[in-house]
A and B are shown apart, each in its own frame.
Chain A
Amino acid sequence: MNETVAVLAGGRAPEREVSLRSGHRIVAALRSRGFDAFLLDPAERSLVESLSAARVSACYIALHGKDGEDGTVQRVLELLEVPYTGSAPFSCQVTFDKVLAKEALDAAGVATPAWATVQGAALRDLAAGAILGHVSRRVGLPAVVKPSRAGSAMGLSFVEREVDLPNAVMSALSFSDAAVIERRVVGTEVAVGMIGSPEEPLPLVEIVPKSGVFDYASRYTAGATEYFAPARLRPEVAGACQEEAAHAFRTLGLRDVSRADLMVDRDGRPWVVDVNVSPGMTDTSLLPMAARAAGIEFPELCERVLRLALDRGGSKSRGTSL
């Protein structure tokens, strides 16, 4: 009998639509590899009841954003003792929250651009809005302002002038309870994917958005961005990117599958700007491109990730190091 796999996708986060696109593709891929895969949208059907009724062998997590990437669904699956793809709850929680992830990466010596965190509560409850002046001195301009907990470049803005900082912070705080203001690194944008072990990163994908900015529209409109895999970087620079990414994956204790986004500055130095525990798997997503550059087609990619979860089983997974 074929093994039954629930592909978790949809959910209630703003990335719902992207997640459904990822999820439907994974279902089709796993079916083509002989699995009895079905899509389960926790926003439509009860997760616990559906999983119990279907007697699944494992869950493939294709949820993006809150609940799916921050350890929430992972903790539920731990309690149900259902194996699932991707990282353990605590690693998810830290990685998804850019405030925590930046702290962890920086403390471990991973290169990540200078940043400052502004919490909504600091502005509302402490009336500490005047700190924004300190922020721009600390971080420098131009800067990137991002919500601490969101994906797909939602709520992200670029700030050139100090007067534009308050609006950018307000936009980011619409998506999350804290905003991360990060020095903007100008250079080449690359993504480093990982399947299996942090020590074996995939080839780099270079990202060249036609609009100049890799925002939501550039990410999900086919043709709006050019991608090169492997990236057009000198081998030693590409190698340095993979090392930096692997260092980040190890630091955050990630497993199975993940993706780091890096900027390579004009001196060829890589900076880690974001790490994802549930990378997009849509037809315009970076991880499947990286896998293909390594000779791994999409169905095989999905199966390999799933096998890691099946092999681990549903027994209490010991938390990975962080």
Chain B
Amino acid sequence: MAELSVDPYVDLYARRTSGMSASEVRALFSVAARPDVVSFAGGMPYVQALPTDHLQEVAAAVLRERADVALQYGGGQGPRTLRERLVMLMAEEGTPADPEDVVVTTGAQQALDLLGKVLIDPGDEVVVEAPAYVGALSAFSAYEPRFVQVELDDRGMIVEQLEEALLRGARPKFVYTVPNFHNPAGVTMSRERREQLVALCREARIPIVEDNPYGLLRFEGEREPTLRSLDPENVVYLGTVSKVFAPGVRVGWAVAEPGLLQRLILAKEAGDLCGSNLTMLITERYLQGERWRRSLEDLVAAYRRRRDAMIAALERHFPPDATWTRPAGGFYVWATVPSYVDTQALLAAAIERRVAYVPGTAFYPDGRGRDRMRLAFCYPTEDRTLEGIRRLGELLADEEELFRSMSR
């Protein structure tokens, strides 16, 4: 009688890995990557719209003129010249920042991990939105927090719920929010809620982590002030060039007060010494001059058309009792389907019909969201979107028929 060990390390793993397991949904996504599947699953930017000739020139110029820096190690904070460009991007949304307060990270995703590393001890409370960006949930989870969930409505985080949680005794290390064009919910926090949130957190002395990847992708309406611009001292700001330029360069950043910044830089150096000088310098050069603005305008126009196509298709093909958000920017529509539908179970059938989405459960740490789905409109063309939503609508109609039959 022998106990077989399929993994000789199994008794060695740290407790923080206990949530890391194989999943059926992830397995299904590997099938959804086929070209005949219309995928609303991944939030993949439309990089094909970037000016190829210009990019070649940018990359060539970096290697021609600055190869000695581009191919070398650098400092953990990232080149000062790039940080100046990133501060300029923040100024586009009226957010003042000093390049000295910026650390460049490998995408904003690394900043989430660094914040977890620097701020979360096992058992600490962390406030997240319900639903929340799945990448933040995974990044923080490795540090074993307890999530306090605050729900969203069409004006963003319901700040009263946070206030109630604090009154009930919650003592979170920080509040994490995506105020603009939320991932996955698509909603934007109203001006009033922003002021409420900032005031509440300042009084309770709880820092806010403002994750703003989509802020510059506004299709319509007035820009809302960033939380950081409302309260620079109590808000850690996270930015990325993934959506205004390209995710492949892996350039994001965090802006924080000097003490926290220093720890973030030290944590980053401990993790990867420094970011890629090559892609950081390419990013810096891309963001010089005015050319990038035109490309961004083209991108925003394309995303707006794709959003419109998706909303029109949903109105035409989704069942009357389904609802969805109408984002004023960003990448995502968040749909609520009738409660008898389990979007996680339905994904296999959806892929069989050549369409994919992300089931709502991915965005809650507690298994909620079975009747929700995230639909990313950023990648498929308008025609493909129309076809994909038609396929999903048909599937939902069949589900309704099944359900009606069984509840007779």
Contacts and interface: CB of A to CB of B under 8 A. Distances in A.
A123 B406 contact: yes
A232 B1 contact: yes
A18 interface: yes
Given A14-B351, A167-B340, A221-B21, A229 B27 contact: no
Most buried by B among A130, A221, A293: A221
Nearest to A15: B27
B406 A132 contact: yes
A127 B402 contact: no
Contacts of A222: 6-7, 10
A245 interface: no
Interface in B23-56: 23-24, 26-28, 30-31, 34
A43 interface: yes
Nearest to B11: A223
Interface string A113-126: 00000001001100
A188 interface: no
A223 B2 CA distance: 16
A173 B340 CA distance: 14
B27 A175 contact: no
Interface stretch (B68-76, B183-191, B342-350): B342-350
Contacts of A4: none
Given A127-B405, A227-B6, A16 B342 contact: no
Contact of B345 (A17, A123, A171, A283): A171
A124 B402 contact: yes
A16 B408 contact: no
Chain B contact patch, size range: 35 or more
A12 interface: yes
Given A124-B401, A130-B408, A283 B22 contact: no
Contact of A155 (B1, B31, B345, B399): B345
Contact of B2 (A130, A217, A293): A293
Contacts of A18: 27
A227 B340 CA distance: 37
B27 to A, nearest CB: 5
Contacts of B30: 16-17, 20
A283 B399 contact: no
Contacts of B346: 174
A42 to B, nearest CB: 12
Nearest to A122: B405
A20 to B, nearest CB: 8
Contacts of A229: 2, 4
B3 A228 contact: yes
A240 interface: no
A170 B408 contact: no
A216 B26 CA distance: 11
Nearest to A290: B4
B405 A226 contact: no
A174 B7 contact: no
B7 A223 contact: yes
Contact of A219 (B3, B22, B398, B408): B22
B405 A124 contact: yes
A226 B7 CA distance: 10
Interface string A223-247: 1101111101000000000000000
Contacts of A284: 6-7
A128 interface: yes
Given A173-B402, A223-B13, A12 B345 contact: no
Given A12-B34, A154-B24, A293-B4, A174 B347 contact: yes
A59 interface: no
Contact of A13 (B20, B31, B398): B31
A129 interface: yes
Nearest to A170: B402
B3 A226 contact: yes
A171 B340 CA distance: 11
A231 to B, nearest CB: 8
Given A170-B402, A216-B24, A227 B407 contact: no
Interface string A155-167: 1000000000011
A14 B350 CA distance: 11
B402 A120 contact: yes
Given A124-B405, A174-B345, A223 B4 contact: no
A205 B20 CA distance: 25
Contact of B342 (A13, A128, A171): A171
A170 B34 contact: no
A292 interface: yes
B408 A217 contact: no
Interface string B322-346: 0000000000000000001010011
Interface in A122-163: 123-124, 127-130, 132, 150, 152, 154-155
Contacts of A167: 340, 342
A205 B6 CA distance: 12
Contact of A129 (B398, B399, B405): B405
A63 B4 CA distance: 25
Contacts of A150: 348
A220 interface: yes
A314 B272 CA distance: 54
Given A221-B22, A222-B7, A228-B2, A175 B348 contact: yes
Contact of B1 (A152, A224, A230): A230
Contacts of B407: 129, 166
A105 interface: no
A162 B402 CA distance: 17
Contacts of B23: 216-217
A192 interface: no
Contact of A154 (B4, B348, B398): B348
Nearest to A124: B401
B217 to A, nearest CB: 32
Nearest to B347: A174
A205 B22 CA distance: 21
Top 8 A-B pairs, shortest CB-CB distance = A129-B405, A222-B7, A223-B10, A129-B406, A171-B345, A220-B22, A174-B349, A221-B21
Interface of A: 12-18, 20, 43, 120, 123-124, 127-130, 132, 150, 152, 154-155, 166-167, 169-171, 173-175, 205, 215-217, 219-224, 226-230, 232, 283-284, 289, 292-293
18 contacts: A17-B26, A43-B34, A123-B402, A127-B405, A128-B405, A129-B407, A130-B408, A166-B407, A169-B402, A170-B340, A174-B346, A216-B22, A216-B24, A217-B23, A222-B6, A228-B1, A228-B3, A284-B7
